[in-house]
Each structure stands twice: as C-alpha cells, then as structure tokens.
C-alpha cells in the first residue's frame, strides 16, 4: 500500500509539473513555431532578460560579450571603450514607466545609484549616463541628477565643433537648456547646427549613392540625430527640420537598410539613430510640441499620436512606416532569440551580421528596448533563420 501511495504521489507531482510547464513554456514554444506576431512591448520585455544577466549587484554592468559558434554561451569580455550605461539604465526605467512592474524600477535605481557615486569621483560617469540623468531629473526634480548633469556643462560649452558633434553634445546641450532654461546652452547648440549647414563640419566619406544619384555620407545620420533634430526641437527653426526631412526623402532609407546597418563600422548604431529620428518626425508631423523632453524616448506611443492627428503638412504615416521597417529589419538580422537562434538565444542584439563570431552589448540592447517601447502596441513578424519575412 505504501509503495502504491508513493507512486500516486510521484505521479501527482509529475502531473503538476507538467501542467506548470504547459502553462508557462508551451504557449511561447507554440508561438515560436507558429510564427506568432510579437508586439513592441513583448520584444522589449524579452530583451530585458538579456540585460538582467549583465547587471551586477553594485549597479554596474558587463559592457561587452563575445559570441562564437564554438562556444555554448556568449562570454563577457573587457571593453576598450568607456562604460556607457545610460541607455541600459533608461531601458529599465522606461520599462517600469510602461508596465509599472517594480522589478524594473529596482534595477534602474540600483544602476543610477552606482552612476551617482561614480560621478562624484569621475565626472566622465555623468557624461556617459547623461540621457538617463535627464530622465530622472525631469520626472523627480531631484537636484542630485541636475547637479550631476552640470558637472560637464562647461566642457560642452567650450568643446570644438568636431568634438561637439562626435560626442553627441548637441543632445546634451538641448537637455541642459531644457533643465536650466539658460540660453547659453541653446546658443551653443544653434551655432553648432548653423556651422554644419555652412559646411564647417565634414559629412564624411561616401557611404553609398542612391539610384537618383544622391550621395549618402557616413556622418549624415549622426549629424541629423545628434544636432539637427535637437536644434529644431529647442529653436523651432524650420531650416533644421527641413534638413532632416530632406535627408530621408533623398536617401530612400528603407531601400538601403543593409548599407545603413553595416556602414562606417558602426553596425547597428546607424539604424538605431535613424529609427529614433523617424519616430520623432512622426510625432512632429502630427503636431506634437517637439521639446527635447517630449522626444528621444517619449512615453506617449507613436500609434496614439497618429490617431490624434488631422490633415498633416507631412504625412506621419510615411515616417512611421519607415521606422517600423527599421524595427523589423533589426529584429530579423540582429536579435539572437528563440525565434532565430544565432548563438545562444539569450535575447540580446548583435552588433553586426557575422554568423560565426560577433559581439553583443547591453548598450545597444537597452537602446533598442526604448525604441520598441515607443511602438509597444504595434506588432512585428518574428524573425526566422535570419531571413526577412
């Protein structure tokens, strides 16, 4: 009798375990095999699983992973670059604002605590996390975040044109103007944009030539993202907005996604910048007041903005369609996931298209989380075998 009871108990435990597996894992497995479409929110939450493994107890992050086909997992390696963690921090923060799940806020707070401590000893840490500091200050009005931003403010005012552009200082100057209201930051941003329009900063080497002979150069998208759009957002000078729109009209970006993706050795960064700008253009086209705080990661989703717009001067749907095409392309080509296992399927995004050896950084994965969150209710085709649907 005892033996029979043990067998029955074991069977019951097995049945419970089987039901748990079916409830938790089977729907995802079926979704993977059946090609269930994924919302932007679902993609963002899955990618956060990759970020989770990079976060250390003290709030710092592993910065780079190397993936090879010969290894069962992508391995953390030393990064030669500065510890830019602001985009990772922002990903957790905006996931919390979107979902109200406290686990994301705890991780964002832990990471921000590390940043503030490190910033006291080395102001470079403030600069490397500038966008996140701006987010936290605008939401909480805690002077610790403003103080950290101001540590590098004089440096930004005195930088050369080349350093201002290359170090993304245009966005930082817009953030400082937005936070302080001091015109000196706006003047520096405005002068930078005018100097570029006057040809004082090189657009770089030839990237590619379109079918109608427009030459795209390797600095174009960076100039638009880091200078022209924030300059327009704060000055309302339409010459900057027209320069942005002119580029997208002539470059035919959706016809050259592979070239944008691989150009100038920047990998996924070119497309992330273009995607972000196109989402901002969508909101501008529907009449939204484009201050810095409303752009660069707005928590109002773009489909909501589209639904509220009437008779635009520019069709927001055109910009939005291009943005979605970029999001789908990145999903197809860069997401190492259960839908398209390229290395260890941990939901991190790859730097490049190499299938035998590649890198992943939480920086880019965090940035992309924010962009998918801006399209959180829209749906994307799951990637399969690295091929576009």
Q: Are 336 and 60 a contacting pair, CB within 8 Å?
A: no
- Band of the pLDDT at 42, cuts 50, 70, 90? very high
What would the mean pLDDT of 198-215 be, rounded to a whole number?
A: 94
Q: How confident is the model at residue 168 (pLDDT cuts 50, 70, 90)?
A: very high
Rounded Cα distance, 271 and 138, in Å: 27
| Count of helices and strands (H, E) across the chain | 20, 9
pLDDT for position 157: 98
Q: Name the CA dihedral angle for 375, 55, 25, 337, rounded to a multiple of 10 degrees.
A: 60
| 199 conformational bin, left if phi > 0, alpha if psi -120 to 50, beta if neither | left
User: pLDDT tens digits, residue range 235-256?
Assistant: 999 999 999 999 999 999 999 9
pLDDT category of residue 129 using cuts at 50, 70 and 90: very high
Which class is 35-380 in CATH?
mainly alpha
Q: How many Cα atoms sit within 13 Å of 196 on the Cβ side?
A: 30
- pLDDT confidence of residue 83: 83
pLDDT over threshold 60, residue 312: no
What's the 3-state SS for 227-288? HHHHHHHHHCCHHHHHHHHHHHHHHCHHHCHHHHHHHHHCCCHHHHHHHHHHHHHHHHHCCC
Q: For tokens 């997401």, name the residue.
A: 335
Find all residues with CB under 8 Å of 112, minimum gap 6, and list them: 59, 89, 129, 132, 136
Tokens of 310: 């009437």
Pairing of strands 206-209, 215-217: antiparallel
Give the C-alpha separation, 152 to 147, whole Å: 10
Give the distance from CA 72 to its chain's centroid: 27
The whole-number pLDDT of residue 266 equals: 63
Specify whether the CB–CB gap between 90 and 132 falls below 8 A: yes
Residue 235 sits at φ, ψ, to 5 deg, of -100, -20
Distance from C-alpha of 303 to C-alpha of 313, rounded to nearest angstrom: 18
Asked if 276 and 296 count as a contact pair (C-beta separation under 8 A), the reply is yes
Are 60 and 83 in contact by the 8 Å Cβ rule? The answer is: yes
3-state SS class at 324 = helix
Q: Of the given ranges (61-75, 218-232, 236-250, 269-283), which has the lowest mean pLDDT? A: 61-75
Predicted confidence (pLDDT) at residue 25 exceeds the cutoff of 50: no
Of 8-12, 86-90, 100-104, 349-353, which range is least confident?
Answer: 8-12
The whole-number pLDDT of residue 298 equals 41
pLDDT tens, position by position, 94-128: 999 999 999 999 999 999 999 999 999 999 999 99
The pLDDT-based confidence of 81 (bands split at 50, 70, 90) is: confident
Strand partners, 76: 65
Please give the helix or strand (H or E) that residue 172 lies within, else none.
helix 169-180
Instruction: Report the C-alpha gap between 355 and 387 in whole angstroms.
Output: 13
CA of 243: how far to CAs of 73, 227, 240, 247, 252, in Å? 44, 11, 5, 6, 15
């Amino acid at each position: 009798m005892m033996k029979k009871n043990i067998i029955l108990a074991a069977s019951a435990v097995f049945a419970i375990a089987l039901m748990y597996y079916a409830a938790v894992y089977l729907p995802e497995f079926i979704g993977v095999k059946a090609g269930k479409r994924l919302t932007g929110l679902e993609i963002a939450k899955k990618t956060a699983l990759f970020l989770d493994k990079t976060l250390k107890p003290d709030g710092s992050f592993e910065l780079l992973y190397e993936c090879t086909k010969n290894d069962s997992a992508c391995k953390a390696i030393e990064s030669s670059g500065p510890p830019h963690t602001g985009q990772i921090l922002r990903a957790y923060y905006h996931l919390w604002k979107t979902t109200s799940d406290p686990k994301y806020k705890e991780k964002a707070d832990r990471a921000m605590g590390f940043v503030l401590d490190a910033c006291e000893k080395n102001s470079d840490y403030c600069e490397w996390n500038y966008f996140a500091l701006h987010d936290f200050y605008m939401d909480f009005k805690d002077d610790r975040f403003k103080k950290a931003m101001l540590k590098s403010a004089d440096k930004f005012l005195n930088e050369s044109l080349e350093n201002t552009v290359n170090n993304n200082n245009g966005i930082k100057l817009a953030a400082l103007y937005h936070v302080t209201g001091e015109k000196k930051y706006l003047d520096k941003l405005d002068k930078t944009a005018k100097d570029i329009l006057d040809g004082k900063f090189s657009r770089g080497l030839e990237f590619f030539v379109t079918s109608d002979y427009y030459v795209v150069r390797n600095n174009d998208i960076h100039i638009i993202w880091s200078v022209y759009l924030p300059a327009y957002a704060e000055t309302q000078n339409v010459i900057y907005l027209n320069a942005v729109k002119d580029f997208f009209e002539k470059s035919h970006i959706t016809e050259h996604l592979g070239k944008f993706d691989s150009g100038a050795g920047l990998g996924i960064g070119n497309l992330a910048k273009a995607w972000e700008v196109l989402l901002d253009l969508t909101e501008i086209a529907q009449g939204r007041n484009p201050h810095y705080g409303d752009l660069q990661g707005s928590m109002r989703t773009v489909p909501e903005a589209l639904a509220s717009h009437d008779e635009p001067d520019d069709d927001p749907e055109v910009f939005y369609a291009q943005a979605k095409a970029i999001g789908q392309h990145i999903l197809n080509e860069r997401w190492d996931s259960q839908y398209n296992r390229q290395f260890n399927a941990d939901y991190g995004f790859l730097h490049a298209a190499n299938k035998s050896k590649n890198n992943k950084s939480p920086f880019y994965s965090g940035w992309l989380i924010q962009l998918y969150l801006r399209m959180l209710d829209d749906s994307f085709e799951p990637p399969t075998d690295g091929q576009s649907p």
